[in-house]
Protein backbone atom coordinates (compact mmCIF):
# COMPACT_ATOMS: atom_id res chain seq x y z
CA UNK A 1 0.00 0.00 0.00
CA UNK A 2 1.30 3.42 -0.90
CA UNK A 3 1.21 5.68 2.11
CA UNK A 4 -1.25 8.52 1.68
CA UNK A 5 0.20 11.97 2.05
CA UNK A 6 -2.43 13.17 4.47
CA UNK A 7 -2.86 16.87 4.80
CA UNK A 8 -1.77 17.42 1.24
CA UNK A 9 -4.14 17.72 -1.68
CA UNK A 10 -6.50 14.84 -2.27
CA UNK A 11 -7.52 13.23 -5.54
CA UNK A 12 -11.00 12.34 -6.68
CA UNK A 13 -11.17 8.85 -8.13
CA UNK A 14 -14.24 7.46 -9.89
CA UNK A 15 -14.69 3.84 -8.89
CA UNK A 16 -16.71 1.23 -10.76
CA UNK A 17 -17.66 -2.31 -9.80
CA UNK A 18 -19.00 -4.93 -12.18
CA UNK A 19 -20.83 -8.27 -12.10
CA UNK A 20 -20.54 -10.27 -8.85
CA UNK A 21 -18.37 -7.55 -7.28
CA UNK A 22 -21.14 -5.02 -7.90
CA UNK A 23 -23.58 -7.30 -6.07
CA UNK A 24 -21.11 -7.88 -3.27
CA UNK A 25 -20.47 -4.16 -2.81
CA UNK A 26 -24.13 -3.28 -3.13
CA UNK A 27 -23.48 -0.51 -5.67
CA UNK A 28 -22.02 -0.04 -9.13
CA UNK A 29 -19.47 2.51 -8.01
CA UNK A 30 -18.69 5.68 -6.14
CA UNK A 31 -16.38 8.66 -6.15
CA UNK A 32 -13.72 8.52 -3.46
CA UNK A 33 -11.32 11.13 -2.16
CA UNK A 34 -7.86 9.73 -1.57
CA UNK A 35 -4.40 11.02 -0.70
CA UNK A 36 -2.12 12.54 -3.27
CA UNK A 37 -0.13 9.33 -3.67
CA UNK A 38 -2.19 6.16 -4.02
CA UNK A 39 -2.41 2.93 -5.96
CA UNK A 40 -5.45 1.18 -7.42
CA UNK A 41 -5.27 -1.21 -4.42
CA UNK A 42 -5.52 1.79 -2.08
CA UNK A 43 -8.57 2.94 -4.02
CA UNK A 44 -10.12 -0.49 -3.48
CA UNK A 45 -9.55 -0.27 0.29
CA UNK A 46 -11.06 3.19 0.43
CA UNK A 47 -14.08 2.31 -1.72
CA UNK A 48 -14.77 -1.01 -0.02
CA UNK A 49 -14.41 0.22 3.53
CA UNK A 50 -11.28 -1.84 4.12
CA UNK A 51 -12.48 -5.19 2.81
CA UNK A 52 -9.78 -7.42 1.32
CA UNK A 53 -9.82 -7.52 -2.47
CA UNK A 54 -11.18 -10.91 -3.58
CA UNK A 55 -8.57 -13.14 -5.24
CA UNK A 56 -8.56 -12.94 -9.05
CA UNK A 57 -10.04 -9.43 -9.06
CA UNK A 58 -9.11 -7.62 -12.26
CA UNK A 59 -8.30 -3.91 -12.18
CA UNK A 60 -8.53 -1.31 -14.92
CA UNK A 61 -7.55 2.35 -14.85
CA UNK A 62 -9.23 4.48 -17.49
CA UNK A 63 -10.37 1.30 -19.24
CA UNK A 64 -6.92 -0.32 -19.51
CA UNK A 65 -5.93 -3.39 -17.48
CA UNK A 66 -3.33 -2.57 -14.83
CA UNK A 67 -1.55 -4.18 -11.91
CA UNK A 68 -3.30 -3.29 -8.60
CA UNK A 69 -0.10 -1.54 -7.50
CA UNK A 70 -0.33 0.92 -10.38
CA UNK A 71 -0.54 4.54 -9.17
CA UNK A 72 -3.71 6.48 -9.83
CA UNK A 73 -4.04 10.12 -10.88
CA UNK A 74 -6.65 12.69 -9.98
CA UNK A 75 -9.82 12.14 -12.00
CA UNK A 76 -9.01 8.54 -12.97
CA UNK A 77 -11.73 5.96 -13.46
CA UNK A 78 -10.73 2.81 -11.60
CA UNK A 79 -12.73 -0.37 -12.21
CA UNK A 80 -12.72 -3.62 -10.25
CA UNK A 81 -14.25 -6.79 -11.63
CA UNK A 82 -14.14 -10.59 -11.48
CA UNK A 83 -12.55 -12.78 -14.19
CA UNK A 84 -14.22 -12.14 -17.54
CA UNK A 85 -16.61 -14.72 -19.01
CA UNK A 86 -17.70 -13.44 -22.41
CA UNK A 87 -17.93 -15.17 -25.76
CA UNK B 1 -13.02 -3.69 -39.69
CA UNK B 2 -16.26 -3.60 -37.79
CA UNK B 3 -16.50 -4.11 -34.02
CA UNK B 4 -19.75 -3.77 -32.13
CA UNK B 5 -21.62 -4.67 -28.97
CA UNK B 6 -25.39 -4.86 -29.16
CA UNK B 7 -28.29 -5.53 -26.82
CA UNK B 8 -30.72 -6.42 -29.59
CA UNK B 9 -30.82 -10.01 -30.92
CA UNK B 10 -27.83 -10.95 -33.02
CA UNK B 11 -28.41 -12.47 -36.49
CA UNK B 12 -24.88 -13.61 -37.39
CA UNK B 13 -25.47 -15.14 -40.81
CA UNK B 14 -27.29 -12.10 -42.16
CA UNK B 15 -24.56 -9.81 -40.78
CA UNK B 16 -21.87 -11.99 -42.29
CA UNK B 17 -23.53 -12.02 -45.72
CA UNK B 18 -24.00 -8.25 -45.62
CA UNK B 19 -20.40 -7.62 -44.56
CA UNK B 20 -19.03 -10.04 -47.14
CA UNK B 21 -20.87 -8.10 -49.82
CA UNK B 22 -19.38 -4.78 -48.66
CA UNK B 23 -15.96 -6.37 -48.39
CA UNK B 24 -16.17 -7.71 -51.93
CA UNK B 25 -16.81 -4.20 -53.12
CA UNK B 26 -13.69 -2.97 -51.28
CA UNK B 27 -11.23 -5.84 -51.77
CA UNK B 28 -12.62 -7.67 -54.78
CA UNK B 29 -10.45 -10.69 -55.59
CA UNK B 30 -7.99 -10.05 -52.75
CA UNK B 31 -9.14 -12.53 -50.11
CA UNK B 32 -8.94 -16.25 -50.59
CA UNK B 33 -10.31 -17.28 -47.21
CA UNK B 34 -12.90 -16.38 -44.64
CA UNK B 35 -13.21 -18.18 -41.31
CA UNK B 36 -16.01 -17.49 -38.89
CA UNK B 37 -17.13 -18.54 -35.44
CA UNK B 38 -20.57 -18.17 -33.89
CA UNK B 39 -21.04 -18.79 -30.18
CA UNK B 40 -24.56 -19.65 -29.04
CA UNK B 41 -26.15 -19.82 -25.62
CA UNK B 42 -26.63 -23.36 -24.27
CA UNK B 43 -29.50 -24.49 -22.05
CA UNK B 44 -27.10 -26.38 -19.77
CA UNK B 45 -23.89 -25.65 -17.88
CA UNK B 46 -21.98 -27.64 -15.28
CA UNK B 47 -24.79 -30.19 -15.10
CA UNK B 48 -27.55 -27.64 -14.49
CA UNK B 49 -30.44 -26.49 -16.65
CA UNK B 50 -29.96 -22.85 -17.64
CA UNK B 51 -33.14 -20.94 -18.46
CA UNK B 52 -31.65 -17.60 -19.43
CA UNK B 53 -28.61 -15.43 -19.18
CA UNK B 54 -27.70 -11.83 -18.53
CA UNK B 55 -24.51 -10.65 -20.19
CA UNK B 56 -23.03 -7.61 -18.47
CA UNK B 57 -20.28 -5.49 -20.02
CA UNK B 58 -18.25 -2.37 -19.27
CA UNK B 59 -19.45 0.21 -21.78
CA UNK B 60 -16.42 1.90 -23.29
CA UNK B 61 -13.80 -0.55 -22.08
CA UNK B 62 -15.46 -3.55 -23.72
CA UNK B 63 -15.52 -1.92 -27.16
CA UNK B 64 -11.96 -0.66 -26.68
CA UNK B 65 -10.73 -4.14 -25.67
CA UNK B 66 -12.45 -5.77 -28.66
CA UNK B 67 -10.93 -3.18 -31.00
CA UNK B 68 -7.45 -3.83 -29.56
CA UNK B 69 -7.87 -7.61 -29.88
CA UNK B 70 -9.05 -7.32 -33.48
CA UNK B 71 -6.19 -4.98 -34.38
CA UNK B 72 -3.66 -7.33 -32.75
CA UNK B 73 -5.05 -10.30 -34.71
CA UNK B 74 -5.06 -8.27 -37.91
CA UNK B 75 -1.41 -7.33 -37.44
CA UNK B 76 -0.26 -10.79 -36.33
CA UNK B 77 -1.98 -12.76 -39.08
CA UNK B 78 -2.01 -10.15 -41.85
CA UNK B 79 -5.80 -10.16 -42.04
CA UNK B 80 -7.59 -8.20 -44.72
CA UNK B 81 -10.63 -7.60 -42.55
CA UNK B 82 -12.33 -8.47 -39.24
CA UNK B 83 -15.99 -8.49 -38.21
CA UNK B 84 -16.65 -8.93 -34.49
CA UNK B 85 -20.10 -8.54 -32.94
CA UNK B 86 -20.96 -9.43 -29.35
CA UNK B 87 -24.35 -9.53 -27.69
CA UNK B 88 -25.10 -8.11 -24.23
CA UNK B 89 -28.20 -8.00 -22.03
CA UNK B 90 -30.85 -10.67 -21.54
CA UNK B 91 -30.46 -13.82 -23.65
CA UNK B 92 -32.43 -17.05 -24.04
CA UNK B 93 -30.98 -20.48 -24.88
CA UNK B 94 -30.31 -20.88 -28.58
CA UNK B 95 -29.57 -17.21 -29.16
CA UNK B 96 -26.22 -16.26 -30.70
CA UNK B 97 -23.80 -14.54 -28.32
CA UNK B 98 -20.84 -13.72 -30.52
CA UNK B 99 -19.76 -13.60 -34.17
CA UNK B 100 -16.11 -13.51 -35.16
CA UNK B 101 -15.24 -13.47 -38.85
CA UNK B 102 -11.86 -12.85 -40.43
CA UNK B 103 -10.68 -12.58 -44.02
CA UNK B 104 -7.21 -13.30 -45.33
CA UNK B 105 -5.40 -14.18 -48.53
CA UNK B 106 -4.90 -17.83 -47.48
CA UNK B 107 -6.76 -20.28 -45.25
CA UNK B 108 -4.02 -20.87 -42.66
CA UNK B 109 -4.13 -17.29 -41.41
CA UNK B 110 -7.94 -17.21 -41.44
CA UNK B 111 -8.36 -20.44 -39.45
CA UNK B 112 -5.69 -19.55 -36.92
CA UNK B 113 -6.69 -15.91 -36.50
CA UNK B 114 -10.36 -16.72 -36.00
CA UNK B 115 -9.56 -19.15 -33.21
CA UNK B 116 -6.92 -16.98 -31.62
CA UNK B 117 -9.16 -13.92 -31.65
CA UNK B 118 -12.00 -15.89 -30.07
CA UNK B 119 -9.75 -17.28 -27.33
CA UNK B 120 -8.28 -13.83 -26.63
CA UNK B 121 -11.79 -12.40 -26.40
CA UNK B 122 -12.69 -15.09 -23.85
CA UNK B 123 -9.63 -14.23 -21.76
CA UNK B 124 -9.55 -10.45 -22.00
CA UNK B 125 -12.79 -8.79 -23.11
CA UNK B 126 -14.81 -7.45 -20.15
CA UNK B 127 -18.07 -9.38 -20.28
CA UNK B 128 -19.68 -11.32 -17.44
CA UNK B 129 -22.35 -14.02 -17.66
CA UNK B 130 -25.03 -14.43 -15.03
CA UNK B 131 -27.05 -17.60 -15.51
CA UNK B 132 -30.69 -17.96 -14.57
CA UNK B 133 -31.27 -21.40 -13.05
CA UNK B 134 -34.60 -22.91 -11.94
CA UNK B 135 -33.79 -21.98 -8.32
CA UNK B 136 -31.98 -18.66 -8.64
CA UNK B 137 -29.07 -17.13 -10.48
CA UNK B 138 -25.29 -17.51 -10.44
CA UNK B 139 -22.35 -15.73 -12.01
CA UNK B 140 -20.16 -17.84 -14.27
CA UNK B 141 -16.81 -17.75 -12.48
CA UNK B 142 -14.44 -18.44 -15.34
CA UNK B 143 -14.30 -19.45 -18.97
CA UNK B 144 -13.01 -22.87 -19.90
CA UNK B 145 -9.94 -22.86 -22.09
CA UNK B 146 -10.57 -23.60 -25.76
CA UNK B 147 -7.17 -25.20 -26.37
CATH number of the domain at B63, please: 3.90.1170.40
pLDDT value for B27? 79
Q: How far apart are CA A13 and CA B105, in angstroms?
A: 47
Other beta carbons less than 10 A from residue B97's beta carbon: 22
Q: Which domain holds residue B72?
A: 2-134
- Cross-chain CB nearest to A87 (options B56, B58, B97): B97
Question: Within a domain: residue B126?
Answer: yes
Question: Within a domain: residue B97?
Answer: yes
What are the residue ranges of helices labelled H in chain B? 12-26, 61-77, 107-124
Question: Within a domain: residue B142?
Answer: no
Question: Is this complex's ipTM strictly greater than 0.95?
Answer: no
Question: Within a domain: residue B78?
Answer: yes
CA distance A36 to chain B (A): 26
Q: What is the pLDDT of residues A47-81, one digit of tens each?
A: 999 999 999 999 999 999 999 999 999 999 999 99
CATH architecture group of domain A11-81? Roll (3.10)
Q: How far apart are CA A23 and CA A27, in angstroms?
A: 7
DSSP assignment letter at B27: S
What three-state secondary structure class fits B121? helix
Q: Provide, as residue numbers in chain B, all residues whose Cβ is less than 8 Å from the Cβ of A65.
A: 124
pLDDT value for A2? 53
The band of B111, judged by pLDDT with boundaries at 50, 70 and 90, is very high
Q: How far apart are CA B116 and CA B145, in angstroms?
A: 12
Number of domains in chain B: 1
Nearest of B79, B121, B75 to residue B99 by alpha carbon: B121
What three-state secondary structure class fits A31? strand
Between positions 24 and 83 of A, the ones with CB within 8 A of B are 58, 60, 63, 65, 79, 81-83
Map out the domains of chain A as residue ranges. Answer: 11-81
Higher pLDDT, B122 or A4: B122
| Percent with pLDDT over 70 in chain A | 91
Nearest of A44, A15, A43, A53 to residue B58 by alpha carbon: A15
CB B77 within 8 A of CB B112: yes
Mean pLDDT of B1-26: 96
Q: How far apart are CA B39 and CA A87, in angstroms?
A: 7
Residue A3 pLDDT more than 70?
no
Q: Provide, as residue numbers in chain B, all residues whose Cβ is less than 8 Å from the Cβ of A82.
A: 128, 139, 141
CB A46 within 8 A of CB A29: no
Q: What is the pLDDT of residues B122-137, one digit of tens each?
A: 999 999 999 999 999 9
Q: What is the pLDDT of residues B24-72, one digit of tens each?
A: 888 788 999 999 999 999 999 999 999 999 999 999 999 999 999 999 9
DSSP strand E in chain A: where? 11-17, 29-34, 58-61, 64-66, 77-81
Question: Within a domain: residue B127?
Answer: yes
What are the residue ranges of helices labelled H in A2-85? 19-25, 40-48
pLDDT value for A8? 63
CB B125 within 8 A of CB B60: no
Mean pLDDT of B12-25: 95
Amino acid sequence: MVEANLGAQTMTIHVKFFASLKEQMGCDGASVEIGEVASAADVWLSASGGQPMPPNTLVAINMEYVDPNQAVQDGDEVAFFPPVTGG
Amino acid sequence: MRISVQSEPLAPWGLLAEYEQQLNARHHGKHGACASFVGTMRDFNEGDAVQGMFLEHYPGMTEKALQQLAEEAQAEYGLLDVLLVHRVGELRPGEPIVLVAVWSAHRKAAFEACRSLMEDLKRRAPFWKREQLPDGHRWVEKNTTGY
